[in-house]
Every structure is written in C-alpha cells, then in structure tokens.
Structure 1
C-alpha cells in the first residue's frame, strides 16, 4: 500500500499551558485546561444589579433603587440645612440677651410668632411641588419655627438644653438606622400611621385641658414623656415613607415631616427634663 505524498501527517500536540489568576486562590497556577477567568464588574455585583448601592427593600428594581437613593440623599441634605439654620437662630434667640429680653417685654409678639409656622404650613403644603416657591416657603417655615425653639430654650437652663439636644441626636440616628435596616429585610411600618395620629390627638386634648386646669410638674412630665414616645414613632413612620412612598417631587414635604418629628422630639424632651429638674 502506497501513501499519498501530497498528504501531510496530522500531529497531535498537547494544548499549551496558560496562566490564569483566580481571586482568593493565591499565586497563579499554569494549567493546560483552565476554567474561564473570573471578571469583576466595575459597576458592583452584577447578580444583585444595584450598582454597588444597598437594596432599600425586597423586590425593588435596580433603576428604582438608584433613583430612590438619590431622592433620599436630597431630602437629608435639605433636612441638615434646616437643622443647622434652626440651631443658629435658636442659639441667637436663647443666648443673645438683647433678643431674649426684647421677646420677654413683648408677649404679644411672641404669641403672634407662635402662630406663624401654622400659617406658613398651609401654603407650603399646597405649593410643595412648585419650585422655587416651595424652597422659599420652606425657609420661612424653618425660621419661624426656629424662633419658637429659641424662645423655649431662652427660659431653660443650658445644661438641660444640651442634654435634650444630645439625647435627640442619639434617638434620631438610632431610629433612622433601625428603620433602614428593618425595611431592607421586608418590614413595613405603615400601620403606625393611625396609631400615632390618634395618640397625638389625645396628647393635644390633654395639653388643652392642662392650660385651663394645670396639674403642675406631673402633667408636664406626662406631656414630655408621651410626646417623646409619639414623635420617636413618627421618626420611624416618616423614614419608612421616605424610603417607599414619597414621590420624587415631594422632597420638600418629606424634609418638613422629618424636621417636625425631630423638633417636636427635642421640645418634648426639653419639657420632660424641665419638669424633672
């Protein structure tokens, strides 16, 4: 049998060894039959699909999660500016004696200023989505409420003010972190709305009765303690709404809700500490 001289023999050669680096395995190991290399996406966990941002709550879409985080950051920036402005205005009213003495000599002005936040709150709600009018009304509302906080601090010892401020900060931070942790695991706090509203109405009725039939320090202790519990619950409830329910153009009203929770918690603790001092 003769072979065809035009045909070349086929030579089987083993595959060339290649070097691949596997994460967490150690030094690279050459192998003839490597597994495909593992590539890490620069956009975070591809399977999770949230671009490196924590998932806010179960079954939220990736694009919705990113938009929601941007909305939350915007609200907290506005809220931080409100609290800084409140601290400055209240500090001037409380600790700059010419201002506090002037307010003491003009009780009518103090009473009128007490109604100003409620007057501004109505148009603020109506125009909460109208830029830039909503920011102007928000600034006016913050300043007017800051004056009330300053007047409350003007008749309080400095030690009590610092205690109430530090405790308010601790409560707000801890409850906010807890709410984010709980909602990520599927908890829902919308059921707190009717309970907190009913409790707040009862507290307001009790305060009105206290005006006409004062009970002394005991009633102030009850008002301060119950108020602190109610507004602590509102911090959880409004933070849950911030994560899940507010629309993206309601950033002003979301910041107003959390701002009122924090300020009322501070004033409740101030009342409680004054009564127990």
Structure 2
C-alpha cells in the first residue's frame, strides 16, 4: 500500500510538472523557469544566426578580393561604403520601434546584420589573418566565459543592474576618445589603450545584458535582446581587433 501510494504521488507530481520543471534561474523568481528558458533559447538562436550571417558576409568581403577593392578604389564603392557604415545606425531606430511586429522585425534585423557585416568584412579585409584569428578566438572564449559566469552569479542572487549607468558613461568616454583619435591621431599606443578600455567596457555590457536577459526582458522583446547581445559581441571583437592590430 505504501509503495503504490508513493508511486501514485510521484506520478501525480510529474503530471503537475513538479519534477519536469527546471529550477529557478535566480532567487525570488516568480515567473515560470520553463517559459524563461524558452525565451533565452529563442534569443540565443537568433544571436547564433546573426553571428553565422556575419561570418558568411564578412568572409565573402575578405576572401573575394574584387569586392573589397571595389569599396576602396572607386568613388561609387566609397559612397556605398559610407552608406553601409551609417545604415545600421539608421535601421536601429525603426528596429527598436517595430521590434515586436512580426515579420517586419526580422526583415529590419536582417538588414541591420548584413549591413554591419559588410563593414566588419571591410575592416578585416585589410588586417592580417593572425590578428583576426587571435581576436576571434579571444572573443569566443570571453563571451562564453562571461555568459556562464553571469548565469552562475544570477543563480546565487547577484544582480548587475547597477552596472548600467557606469557602462553608459564609460561608453560615452570611449566614443569621444575615438572621435579625438580620428581627428588628432595619437599613435599606436593610444590605439592600444582605446582597444583595451573598449574591450573591458563591452565585457561589462555582456554581463549586464545577459543579466537583463535572465531577469528583465519580457517575452516579446526577443529581437531587441538579441540585438543587444550581438552588438556586445561585435564591439568586443572590433575592440580586440584594434588592440592586436596596433600591437602587431
């Protein structure tokens, strides 16, 4: 009787989702962990597609030499490059406004990713393969490590929302520093300092945005969550590329 009662209780728990439900992602979590994990998987699936698309487009620009030469050797190519350089910033505004409207959000996301990928490809086209490989490997290791750390820290009750104002202020400083470097070149040492500081800032953004992914993004903000993480990864890669290229 006791065994049959225990078995019946166990079956009842399984039917109610007691054992199939994953544990809470962080203390005092009120929502269903199953729904939050589904949202997280969706965001990382979109992010993976974005990164694969970026690698594909950038590889075409790097390895098909006529493409990169067209952008730097002709007036039409230079004009197209400037247009592609500003296009991601232009697309960000309607993407933010329509990030919940399907399928327009995916169309804008594709335009944003492809245009940014062309710019990344042109940056890599005139950079040594060793520097690109070093930057890509270090970016991958850092992103995976910081993502795992943030999930581990959130599980133990740590919160990283306090980083927001500091990261935003640091980003403004880096933007002004880049503008000064563009107008008044300060040499390779300043480029190395810029690359190192920018890499540290975007490492912080990876932790901050991953923490928001775990706790704060709503289920219909999957596009904007993916865009935030994508920009963190791309900017970290470009920062390390700047650092290694100056040191090469």
Among 87, 93, 113, the residue aligned to 1:142? 113
Deviation at 1:50, TM superposition (A): 6.7
The runs of at least 4 consecutive aligned structure 1 residues that moved more than 4 Å come to 18-21, 36-44
**Aligned partners of 1:42, 1:52: CA distance in 2, in Å?**
14
Number of residue pairs matched by the alignment: 244
1:211-231 residue CA offsets vs partner (Å, 9 max, x unmatched): 111111011101110110000
What is the SS of the residue equivalent to 1:156? coil
**Aligned partners of 1:42, 1:165: CA distance in 2, in Å?**
49
Kindly indicate whether the alpha-carbon contact (under 8 Å) linking 1:43 and 1:52 is maintained by their aligned counterparts in 2.
no
Change (3 A) 1:41 1:176: farther
Give the structure-2-normalised TM-score.
0.92
Deviation at 1:249, TM superposition (A): 0.5
| Long gaps (5+) in structure 1 | 1-17, 22-35
Among 212, 221, 228, the residue aligned to 1:241? 212
Rg larger in structure: 1
What is the SS of the residue equivalent to 2:32? helix
1:96-123 residue CA offsets vs partner (Å, 9 max, x unmatched): 1111111111322222211010011110
1:40-66 residue CA offsets vs partner (Å, 9 max, x unmatched): 55976x8x94734232111223x5211
2:128 maps to 1:157: yes
RMSD, aligned α-carbons: 2.1
**Aligned partners of 2:89, 2:13: CA distance in 1, in Å?**
46
Deviation at 1:141, TM superposition (A): 0.3
Q: Which residue of 1 aligns with 2:44?
A: 76
Deviation at 1:37, TM superposition (A): 4.9
Kindly indicate whether the alpha-carbon contact (under 8 Å) linking 2:21 and 2:34 is maintained by their aligned counterparts in 1.
no
Equivalent runs, 1:242-261 vs 2, <5 Å:
242-261=213-232
Q: Which residue of 1 aligns with 2:151?
A: 180
Q: Which residue of 2 aligns with 1:58?
A: 27
More helix by percentage: 2
**Aligned partners of 2:168, 2:112: CA distance in 1, in Å?**
22
| Long gaps (5+) in structure 2 | none
